Amino acid sequence: MGDNLEQAEGRHDTSSGAGLTDQEREVAASAYEAFTAGNYDESIRHLEFLQELNKDDFKISMNKAIVEFYKSGQTAIGNLKQSLMATIKSQVYMSTEDIDGLDDVENSLLHYNQAIIHYHMRQYSEAIFIGERLYQFLEPFEEKFAQAVCFLLVDLYLLTFQPEKALHLLAVLDKLSAQGSNKNNKGENNSANKDGSNHKAEVTAMIEAAKSKIHQYKVRAYIQMKSSKACKREIKSVMNTAGNSAPSLFLKSNFEYLRGNYRKAVKLLNSSNIADHTGPIKTGECVRCMFWNNLGCIHFAMGKYNLGIFYFKKALQENDHTCAQLAEGASGKGKKLTSVPMCALQANKRYELLYNCGIQLLHIGRPLAGFECLMEAVQFYHSNPRLWLRLAECCVSANKRGSEQEGKGLPCKKGIVQSVVGQGYQRKIILASQSTQSSVYSEGQSAAIPVASMEFAAICLRNALLLLPEHQQQDLKAEPGSKTSSQPGSVESSSESNDICSGKWQEADKILSAAPSSPLRKQEIENLRCSILACSAFVALALGDNVMALTHAEKLLQQPKVSGSHKFLGHLYAAEALISLDRISDAITHLSPENVSDVSMAKLTSEQEQGPDKGDEPIESSGKQVPMCYPSSVASARSMMLFNLGSAYCLRSEYDKARRCLHQAAAMVNSKDIPPEAILLAVYLELQNGNTQLALQIIKRNQLVPAVSQKVSRDSCKKAFQPLQPIQPIQLPSSFSQVQRK
């Protein structure tokens, strides 16, 4: 946005000539020419002389501060901000908190420069506040300055995920461009000299550049709105105006990513010539970093998590290299390492990339590495409830016992038998204890220490719940947060809506910021609340806090729009907590198989997100699969409820009911899908019934019904469950006769 500051000074030098003498006008022109040529010392001398001639004009002080800022290599941001504030207080006698002070059209340029500073420092709420006040007085502004104000507001609205407001402003910019084109055509007949033709060419180039920029902004807005049909029309306009440039190809790749055409999105990214793109010093963007990040996001959507983490690591390396170059450039000028040019402040995408890396690492089964990445990201995005949930999931995954076996979804003897001691008649089988829980960290340390422990997971989940709005407050607007990188996705700060630009744009659907990902909609907040409550109940059970686990589970079941999967988990967790609290009858009520009618995941499909228009090509499979440890159907979920119901009956010494539950559950699923806990329960029931040999067969064969094949009839199945006769040992003779010698 450095061009805007330069543009702002040019406006002062050319538009304030009405109240200047010939000498002052000549000095101002000389100062502007020296500034555009890069001779900042000479420009400052002219401005100082001009200030002696006209001490009451505060614009001279503002231009002097801008020239000194450019002289410092755009690194003295604090000095520029202080100079602008001093100019406001001493010359205009007002402050930025005074709303009435912005009503003066003459002071618009001063406040526009302030908005630019807030923009680069990622203080988007303050920048939007100033920009919307300037928009109220757009009509008296020059056409070039009015376009600059509108483009700044459009960029801010897109950064804060307000695409409807951005589209309204883009319509205004279309009208401004049309008016400028008409004025240019009318002036064509009146300008026959060389200067007139040059001016006409400059105006035409400016209008064409504005049109190309408008089309690009419209594509970004439609992508945020997931409007494929409208985005497809604008993509064609972008390709016609900008050609196969890196920004246009990035936008088209983002569009194909939105439609699910991942291979085409990768192909478009690879065809972009990122080597010829201008560096971050001038544009404030590291294109190579965005290139690798986009590839990582696409491969994440395809379910190729290892490739995704590879590309994210490349993006992090490129980002660190860019930041090191900026720091070296600043230190080479005798500045501090933190003195980075203002236009390059937003080039650092480290926290966004760490967020993406953490999510990828969690998906590929490396929760400890993902925890480290997300812990660094949460320091910057501490108001994101979804990020706190991901941290808790890392802690749960790191402390989950037997994750490798459960990931395969197949019961094995290692899940039942802990070890075997002795041989022959002295051979003993030691069964694994299900009550002990392993932890990757030692006990005795504070739960507030950020380590991947279950205690810290409880703190993360509490933070996530506190960040969610209450049910009665969900219709209120929340203040969106910081900027995200311009990538197709991040794997997961507008001020309160005052509708200055358009009274009809009510964004009631977007109410909670979740930077660096898009804001959470109302239904997404409900789903997130259910996920947090389910995870909180699980963590409380792991910590032995059964009362709190029951509270979370009951609150989960009371949610108005709880999904089938969360309802299933809520009944299971509530039953486990009630059994631990010795309330078996209440637990049996929760474990009824009739409580399970749906186990679908609470997630919008691509068809729901995109609407009826899906594009020309078939959407590729994302490759994401539900973990096999989770029931894939209603039948498997009901069988799991029956297994647990059998355990509850067993605790009440109702062994016949428990055995019937086990047999009923075993008939509903494949024998390979029976969990080890159910086999242990069957062993216990047979031991209680005195059937030691059948219990041994169940353990050895690792089957709930070891003596029955899958194709036998129901009658033969009943015979198999009859107690077996004890095996009689071989009797030795009572006495040995001695062999007689002949």
Can you give the pTM of this predicted structure? 0.76
Considering all CA atoms of the chain, what is the largest pairwise distance in Å, rounded to the nearest integer? 153
pLDDT at 299 (0 to 100): 94
Burial 71-108 (b: 16+ CB within 10 A, else e): bbbbbbbeebbebbeebbeebbebebeeeebbeeeebb
pLDDT class for 72, splitting at 50, 70, 90? confident
Nearest-angstrom CA–CA distance, 561 and 558: 9
Average of pLDDT values for 5-20?
A: 42
Closest CA to 288 of 299, 277, 300: 277
Look at 89-93, 252-256, 559-563 and tell me which has the smallest mean pLDDT.
Answer: 89-93
Q: Tell whether the model's pLDDT for residue 253 goes beyond 70.
A: yes
- Give the Cβ contact number of residue 237 at 10 Å: 16
Residue 506, C-beta contacts closer than 8 angstroms, at least 6 positions apart: 497, 499
540 in Cβ contact with 548 (< 8 Å): yes
Q: What is the DSSP letter of 99?
A: G
- With 0-12 CB in 10 A as exposed, 13-18 as middle and 19+ as buried, what is 573? buried
SS3 521: strand
Q: Tell whether the model's pLDDT for residue 548 goes beyond 90.
A: yes
Q: Tell whether the model's pLDDT for residue 714 goes beyond 70.
A: no
Average of pLDDT values for 520-544?
A: 92
pLDDT class for 251, splitting at 50, 70, 90? very high
pLDDT at 123 (0 to 100): 87
Neighbouring-strand partners of residue 431:
417
Cα separations in angstroms, 514 against 154, 367, 477, 483: 20, 21, 13, 10
Nearest-angstrom CA–CA distance, 101 and 217: 31
225 in Cβ contact with 170 (< 8 Å): no
461 in Cβ contact with 328 (< 8 Å): no
184 in Cβ contact with 200 (< 8 Å): yes
Neighbouring-strand partners of residue 520:
512
According to DSSP H, which parts of 38-159 are helical?
40-53, 58-71, 77-87, 108-120, 124-135, 143-159
Residue with more model confidence, 507 or 463 = 463
Closest CA to 2 of 10, 156, 238: 10
SS3 520: strand
Q: Tell whether the model's pLDDT for residue 312 goes beyond 70.
A: yes
Nearest-angstrom CA–CA distance, 85 and 113: 11
R_g over Cα of the chain: 35
Tokens linked to 320: 């660190």
71 in Cβ contact with 39 (< 8 Å): no
pLDDT class for 9, splitting at 50, 70, 90? very low
Nearest-angstrom CA–CA distance, 356 and 351: 9
Look at 338-352, 464-478, 607-621, 670-684 and tell me which has the smallest mean pLDDT.
Answer: 607-621
Label each residue of 361-423 as H, E or C. HHHCCCHHHHHHHHHHHHCCCCCCHHHHHHHHHHHHHHHCCCHHHHHHCCCCHHHCEEEEECC
Average of pLDDT values for 412-432?
A: 72
Residue with more model confidence, 69 or 292 = 292
Beta strands at 520-521 and 510-512: parallel, antiparallel or unpaired: antiparallel
Nearest-angstrom CA–CA distance, 482 and 678: 49
Label each residue of 593-644 as H, E or C. HHHCCCCCCCCCCHHHHHCCCCCCCCCCCCCCCCCCCCCCCHHHHHHHHHHH
pLDDT at 513 (0 to 100): 82
pLDDT class for 120, splitting at 50, 70, 90? confident
- Give the Cβ contact number of residue 468 at 10 Å: 18
Closest CA to 44 of 56, 31, 53: 31
Label each residue of 499-527 as H, E or C. CCCCCCCCCCCEEECCCCCCCEEHHHHHH
What mean pLDDT value characterizes the chain?
75
- Give the Cβ contact number of residue 433 at 10 Å: 8
What are the contacts of 22-27 at 24+ separation with CB within 8 A? 23/53, 24/50, 24/53, 24/54, 27/53
Residue with more model confidence, 66 or 716 = 66
Q: What is the DSSP letter of 284?
A: S
pLDDT at 322 (0 to 100): 83
250 in Cβ contact with 294 (< 8 Å): yes
Q: Tell whether the model's pLDDT for residue 113 goes beyond 90.
A: no
Q: Tell whether the model's pLDDT for residue 617 goes beyond 70.
A: no
178 in Cβ contact with 515 (< 8 Å): no
Average of pLDDT values for 624-630?
A: 56
Q: What is the DSSP letter of 510?
A: E
Q: Tell whether the model's pLDDT for residue 49 goes beyond 70.
A: yes
Tokens linked to 710: 């899958």
pLDDT class for 20, splitting at 50, 70, 90? low
Nearest-angstrom CA–CA distance, 446 and 682: 41
Q: Taking CA 677 as the corner, what is the angle to CA 675 and CA 679, rounded to the nearest 5 degrees?
A: 80
Q: Tell whether the model's pLDDT for residue 625 goes beyond 60.
A: no
Most confident of 175-184, 215-224, 279-288, 671-680: 215-224
pLDDT at 65 (0 to 100): 81
Kindly tell me the number of DSSP H helices and DSSP E strands found in the chain: 31, 4
495 in Cβ contact with 479 (< 8 Å): yes
pLDDT at 672 (0 to 100): 77
> Could you give the angle at which helices 2-15 and 58-71 cross, rounded to 10 degrees?
150
Q: Taking CA 645 as the corner, what is the angle to CA 641 and CA 650, rounded to the nearest 5 degrees?
A: 155
Tokens linked to 235: 């993509």
What's the sign of the alpha-carbon dihedral 264, 269, 270, 273?
Answer: positive
Nearest-angstrom CA–CA distance, 558 and 526: 12
Tokens linked to 259: 């439609």
Neighbouring-strand partners of residue 417:
431
Q: What is the DSSP letter of 670?
A: -
Nearest-angstrom CA–CA distance, 710 and 667: 9
Residue type, 597: S
Q: Tell whether the model's pLDDT for residue 705 goes beyond 70.
A: no
Q: Tell whether the model's pLDDT for residue 84 goes beyond 60.
A: yes
pLDDT class for 547, splitting at 50, 70, 90? very high
Q: Tell whether the model's pLDDT for residue 496 goes beyond 60.
A: no
CB-hemisphere CA count at 13 Å for 312? 29
According to DSSP H, which parts of 655-726 are helical?
655-666, 676-688, 692-701, 714-720
Q: Tell whether the model's pLDDT for residue 267 goes beyond 60.
A: yes
- With 0-12 CB in 10 A as exposed, 13-18 as middle and 19+ as buried, what is 423? exposed
Look at 5-14, 66-75, 117-126, 202-211 and tell me which has the smallest mean pLDDT.
Answer: 5-14
pLDDT at 202 (0 to 100): 67
pLDDT class for 201, splitting at 50, 70, 90? low
Q: How many residues does the chain have?
A: 742
pLDDT class for 701, splitting at 50, 70, 90? confident
SS3 349: coil
Look at 61-70, 217-226, 425-434, 573-582 and tell me which has the smallest mean pLDDT.
Answer: 425-434
Beta strands at 428-431 and 510-512: parallel, antiparallel or unpaired: unpaired
pLDDT at 54 (0 to 100): 74
431 in Cβ contact with 680 (< 8 Å): yes
pLDDT at 490 (0 to 100): 61
Element (H or E) spanning 456, and its range?
helix 454-467
Look at 264-273, 365-374, 497-506 and tell me which has the smallest mean pLDDT.
Answer: 497-506
Residue type, 303: G
164-182 pLDDT per residue, tens: 999 999 998 888 777 766 6
Percent of the residues in the chain that have a pLDDT greater than 90, as a whole number: 30
586-599 pLDDT per residue, tens: 999 999 999 998 88
Nearest-angstrom CA–CA distance, 683 and 662: 11
Nearest-angstrom CA–CA distance, 5 and 71: 13
Closest CA to 295 of 269, 256, 258: 269
SS3 512: strand
